[in-house]
Amino acid sequence: MKKRRRRLLLFVMVCAAMVIGYSLFNKEESTTIPPKQAAADGTTTQDGGELSGDSDAETGENAESEAPAEAESPAPTDESKSGSEELPSDQPSHEGNNAEGEEQTEDGLVVIAQPADIAVLVNKQRKLPEEYNPSDLVYPDVRFIFSEKVEKRKLRQEAATALEKLFSAAEDDKVMLAGVSAYRSHSTQQKLFDRYVKRDGLVKARTYSAFPGTSEHETGLAIDISGSDGKCAAADCFADTKEAKWLAEHADEYGFIVRYPEGKEKITGYQYEPWHLRFVGVDLAAELANSGETLEEYYDAVPVTQ
């Protein structure tokens, strides 16, 4: 009888020890688990929402689809690129993309000091000054999917000349391109954005339309391109066309880059946009084509994750 009681007591003690141990372990675990990452990575389209100002395309749907899941990884850092004085002399100037002389607004965005720099970095964290309007906009002599001579046909002089060469080289390879949308003034972007905010509210609007001042189209250095038939204009299906393949292979030879590449969504803050080309000049375009870097990585900028 005594033996049984002792065994029972031992059993109870073991159980109690297990319960205490288990709860301690759980407590420990719950304090070390990092806060849950937001499911959505916040990448959006640069063009979808903006384009819907010109067409009836429903863009919210497109903007909400998520980029493929991938591990969060910070942009690689390379000290040698952060200071312009350390650059070899044949490098393009980083002027205008240094933090120096740039102020931060109350909404957390940096106002770009040198907006006219050909290699300017404009993204969701870096906006053009309110009053900035490119001074050398021209109409490039290339095919567009529309015939009107309107603002969105314009590009800055240097980009326009380069685009004409690009279109002509593509045609030599039997690839017929057409412009979809190039320059967009600050006031146009502001009007579009205001319309979306009125319709869907600020939070939703920001998921599919660029905040005024942060669209590359406002620089006069960016253009959306499709095939001459206009099919898949600024749409995901453009990725599988021969026109997209030609652009991916040859755009850098004329100073353009595919600004929002596949797999870099968390660095650029935008979904893959094989149609959105950005002029940066031949030297920088060649360098980026070689390294596979985005403009954000090139400048050691903070990855845009939302």
Residues in contact with Zn ion by the rule CB under 5 A:
46-47, 224, 276
Considering beta carbons, is residue 62 or 94 the nearer one to Zn ion?
Answer: 62
Contacts of 53 (CB under 8 A, 6+ apart): 188, 191, 192, 195
CA–CA separation, 281 and 256 (whole Å): 7
Q: Minimal CB distance to Zn ion: which residue?
A: 276
Segments of 197-264 assigned E as strands: 222-227, 256-260
Considering beta carbons, is residue 94 or 162 the nearer one to Zn ion?
Answer: 162
Token look-up 């620089």 returns: 219
Considering the candidates 273, 287, 296, 297, report the single residue annotated as catalytic. Answer: 273
Considering beta carbons, is residue 224 or 252 the nearer one to Zn ion?
Answer: 224
**Pair of tokens at residue 35:** 């806060």
CA–CA separation, 253 and 118 (whole Å): 16
- The CA angle 281-132-200, to the nearest 5 degrees, is 100
Considering beta carbons, is residue 119 or 235 the nearer one to Zn ion?
Answer: 235
The answer to whether 170 and 290 are in contact (CB under 8 A) is: no
For residue 180, the minimal CB distance to Zn ion (Å) is 8
For residue 222, the minimal CB distance to Zn ion (Å) is 6
Which of these, 216, 225, 219, lies nearest to 247 by C-alpha position? 225
Considering beta carbons, is residue 125 or 219 the nearer one to Zn ion?
Answer: 219
For residue 215, the minimal CB distance to Zn ion (Å) is 8
For residue 58, the minimal CB distance to Zn ion (Å) is 18
262 is catalytic: no
Listing DSSP states for 247-289 in one string gives HHHHGGGGTEEEEE-TT-HHHHSB--EEEEEEE--HHHHHHHH
For residue 187, the minimal CB distance to Zn ion (Å) is 18
Which of these, 279, 301, 295, lies nearest to 99 by C-alpha position? 301
Catalytic residues: 273
